[in-house]
């Protein structure tokens, strides 16, 4: 089965342009890696994105996307740390599906953003859900 990454939607391109150069580069390398490892991200467990069987890749500025066996070390979050302040803060949220003949798998990146942003900012998951709605319901 061959995996294709759909051209990035202009909203996702805009999100990538909004990142600092290092994070944007890491995110783009993770997106490329999805073509080899489509199940790299974890399955989302709640809400509409879970119903659509979307996944998310965690990443941050010290990641090396080419390391196939995970980062060499990552400090675990302590109990007194806010989830928004510890561990990889960023997510690449994506949807994937296979053609009926199982020849092709298509991956659509829905958002690149912070998982738990400060109040008032949209999380990667909210951005992803909004784009998925748009793509499914509106003609371009």
Partner 1 sequence: MSITLIRSREYARVMSELPSPVRSLTLAQIEDQREQLFAELERGGAIRVYSNDGEHFLGVLTRDQRLLDAAGIAQLIENGQVPPLDELLAMADRGELP
Q: Which residues of this chain interact with partner 1, rule CB under 8 A?
A: 2, 4-9, 28, 31-32, 51-53, 95, 97-100, 104, 106, 108-109, 135-140
Cβ 56 to partner 1, closest distance in Å? 17
Angle at 73 between CA 111 and CA 21, to 5 degrees: 40
Beta bridge partners of 58: 91
Q: Which is nearer to partner 1, 29 or 116 (CB)?
A: 29
What distance in Å separates the CA atoms of residue 132 and residue 95, rounded to the nearest whole number?
A: 9
Q: Which is nearer to partner 1, 5 or 124 (CB)?
A: 5
Q: Which is nearer to partner 1, 21 or 140 (CB)?
A: 140
Cβ 68 to partner 1, closest distance in Å? 19
Query: Cα 96 to chain center, whole Å?
Result: 12
Cβ 72 to partner 1, closest distance in Å? 26
Cβ 46 to partner 1, closest distance in Å? 13
Tokens of 6: 């759909």
Number of other CB atoms surrounding residue 130 within 10 Å: 14
Query: Cα 121 to chain center, whole Å?
Result: 17
């Amino acid at each position: 089965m061959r995996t294709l990454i759909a051209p990035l939607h202009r909203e996702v391109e805009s999100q990538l342009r909004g990142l600092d150069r290092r994070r944007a580069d890491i995110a783009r390398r993770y997106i490329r890696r999805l073509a080899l490892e489509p199940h790299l991200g974890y399955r989302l467990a709640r809400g509409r994105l879970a119903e659509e069987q979307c996944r998310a890749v965690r990443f941050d500025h010290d990641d090396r996307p080419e390391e196939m066996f995970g980062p060499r070390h990552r400090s675990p979050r302590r109990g007194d740390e806010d989830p928004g302040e510890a561990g990889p803060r960023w997510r690449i949220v994506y949807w994937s599906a296979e053609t009926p003949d199982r020849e092709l798998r298509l991956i659509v990146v829905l958002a690149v953003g912070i998982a738990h942003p400060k109040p008032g900012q949209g999380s990667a998951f909210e951005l992803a859900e909004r784009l998925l709605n748009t793509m499914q319901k509106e003609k371009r």
